Structures are given as structure tokens and as C-alpha cells.
Structure 1
Amino acid sequence: MQQKGKSFDRFTFVPVLNACASLQALEEGRQAHKQIIQCGCEADVFVGSSLVDMYAKCGSMEDAQSVFNKILHRDVVTWTAMILGHVKCGEGHTALKLFRKMQAEGVQPDSFTSVGVLNTCASLVALEEGRSVHEQIIRSGYESVTFVGDSLVDMYAKCGSIEDAWRVFNKMSS
């Protein structure tokens, strides 16, 4: 596109950032970020979420946080990217703090957010926090989602609550 003189917009940058995230191509992602700043798209929720996700998947949580702070209207995707980035970097306590802050700001977690937080609870052996997330999952109707059920079983088992793990397992349809 650049060689043909075509201009970029927010719709162009999202797949480029997703590719950088998938390849963990941090330097290429930073180059794209510079162009995003030039276009004035950095605060756009879709571009911003993709930037946060790219930096988080590349292990650059400082850059992810910097972008996250500039996004005015954060949605569940933006919050989830930050939370999962901290999970990936082994910063479970920070991920849980962000999860609580997200909810305090009125953003409801989706199934992907819930699974990330359950994985954090499992790694931290945070059974009570995991039970709290499970209650939210039930209220949200995500308990029947297979990968959520898998994460619940895993979390309960790793936290030493085999009874709860079996209870969830036996409720799963597949």
C-alpha cells in the first residue's frame, strides 16, 4: 500500500496490528504505531484496542499501558487486552486489579475476559476470587460455553477444590 501511495486509515491498521501481535513483531508494530499517531487514530477504540493487544502480546506492557491510558472510551475488548497481557506476562495480581477496576467503571466482562481471570485465579491459587468470577459467569450466562467450563474446572482443580471442579464438569453438556 505504501509503495502504491495509498493512505492508511483506522480500518487498515487493525489487521496490520493483529498480524504484528500474532508474529510478536514488536518493531514492526512500533513502526505502525508511529503511522497511527501521524494519522491521528491512536485514541480510536478499535485501533487503540489493537495497539494494546499487540504490545501486550509482544510483552511490552509499558507501551500497552501508555496506549490504554490514551483511549477515552474503553470497551470490554480494550480492558480484556490489558488484562490478558498482564496474565501472559505473569502479572496475575495486576490483572485481577484491572479486572476489578474494569467492573467498577461499569464495563461487564465477556467470556474471554472471564477465562483470562479464571486462569489467573488458577495460577495464583485464588479460590475465593475464582468463586466470585464463577458467580459473575453464571449471572452472565457464560457457564454453558465450553471453553469457559473448561477454565472453571481447571481453576477449581488447581485451587484444590476438586468437588467444585467435578460439579462444573458434570454440568457441562460436552
Structure 2
Amino acid sequence: MELFLDMTQRTIELDEFTFTGILSSCACFESLEIGRQNEVTWHSTDEVALASILSACGNAKLLEAGLQFHCLAVKLGLEANLFVGGSLIDMYSKCWSIEDARKIYSSMPEWSVVSMNALISGYALKNIKEAINLLSEMLALGLKPSEITFASLIDACKGSQVILGLQIHCAIVKRGLLCGS
């Protein structure tokens, strides 16, 4: 990364795998700055690349960069794509913009366990009641909650939510999701 930043001419062509790889391996996410400070030519941007980039923005809590990539998703017609939509929900949730995450979720033509988990995870730390409502909605839609679903919920039950945590633990046991079962 430092070698690239020291270059005098910084015009670069990136394919989605290269850029996603840079994002994934760079703990400080300087690669997002490369896109802002330099002329970047994309060979193609598909839903997998965009989903990975949005995920990196969420993990680094880079809402402004995530907003820019959300605009790109809209421009490319990928906002309603299952992968991109799930990553948008995840990014907004991790950046504490749960209302925007909910808007994306509500506008998606279909939902998956992944998109619902992203929203449940976002709500779990701010509004456990809404997270539980989403779990009920997930079940009503016939989607099977995963280990991630329950991990998000159980993590939110610290402190005063011990009884709820025990109930969630019972659901985990009942579904056979304990380690080694």
C-alpha cells in the first residue's frame, strides 16, 4: 500500500477482485482513500465486488464512503440485488444508521437469512424488542435462523436481559445449534 501511495503517477486500473483484495487485506482501509484521491478505472463492477466493498465500509465504520458506494449501486441498478442489498443493510447497521438499513430492507424484492441477520444484528444493540420481532418475521417467512441470528440476539442480552437470554439459549438448544451438536 505504501509503495502505491509513494508513486508519482497514480492512475490505476482495478478489477473487482484486486480492489476487494486490497480492501480485505488493509487493516487501515487506506484503499478507500485511493479511490477518492486518484483516478480509478473500473473494468467492471458486479454485485459480488460491490457487496465486498460495502462490507469493508461497514467493518471500518466508513459511512461517507459507504454512501458513495450506495450511490454507485443505485447508478448500476444493483441496489435491490440480494447480495448488494444485504451488504447495504449490514453497512448501515454497523455505521449506526439503522433507519437507513431498515429502508433498504423494506425496499428489497426478497429477503434472505443474510439480509435479515444484518438487520437483526443492527437492531439487537439498540432495540432488542425490534430484533426479536424480526426473528418472528423471519420464522413467519419460512426462513431458518442461523447461528449468526442467535449470536446477534444473545450478545444483546447482557445485563438486564438475562431472562430473554435464557429464552434465546433454549431456542438455540432446541434447534441443535450448540457447538458440537
| TM bucket, shorter chain | 0.7 to 0.9
TM-score (norm 2): 0.72
Could you tell me which residue of structure 1 aligns to residue 122 of structure 2?
85
Whichever structure has more helix as a proportion of its residues is 1
1 CA distance for matches of 2:110 and 2:162?
A: 30
In the alignment of these two chains, the number of paired residues is 144
2 CA distance for matches of 1:35 and 1:116?
A: 29
1:17 paired with 2:54, answer: yes
Shift of 1:45: 0.9
State the AA in 1 paired with 2:80.
A
Name which of 133, 138, 147 aligns with 1:97. Answer: 133
1 CA distance for matches of 2:116 and 2:123?
A: 11
Deviation digits for residues 95-125 of structure 1, max 9, x if unmatched?
Answer: 1111111111111110111111122344452
Name which of 74, 86, 104 aligns with 1:67. Answer: 104
Name which of 109, 116, 119 aligns with 2:152. Answer: 116
**Residue 130 and residue 5 in structure 1: after superposition, are their counterparts in 2 closer, same or farther (change >3 A)?**
closer
The runs of 5 or more residues in structure 1 that have no matched partner are: 146-171
**Residue 3 and residue 121 in structure 1: after superposition, are their counterparts in 2 closer, same or farther (change >3 A)?**
closer
Could you tell me which residue of structure 1 aligns to residue 170 of structure 2?
135
Percent identity of paired positions between Structure 1 and Structure 2 = 31
Name which of 54, 78, 94 aligns with 1:41. Answer: 78
Tell me which moved more, 111-120 or 35-44: 111-120
Shift of 1:3: 2.2
1 CA distance for matches of 2:108 and 2:173?
A: 30
Name which of 59, 68, 72 aligns with 1:31. Answer: 68
**Residue 97 and residue 123 in structure 1: after superposition, are their counterparts in 2 closer, same or farther (change >3 A)?**
farther
Deviation digits for residues 63-90 of structure 1, max 9, x if unmatched?
Answer: 10111011122111111100110123x2
2 CA distance for matches of 1:83 and 1:132?
A: 17
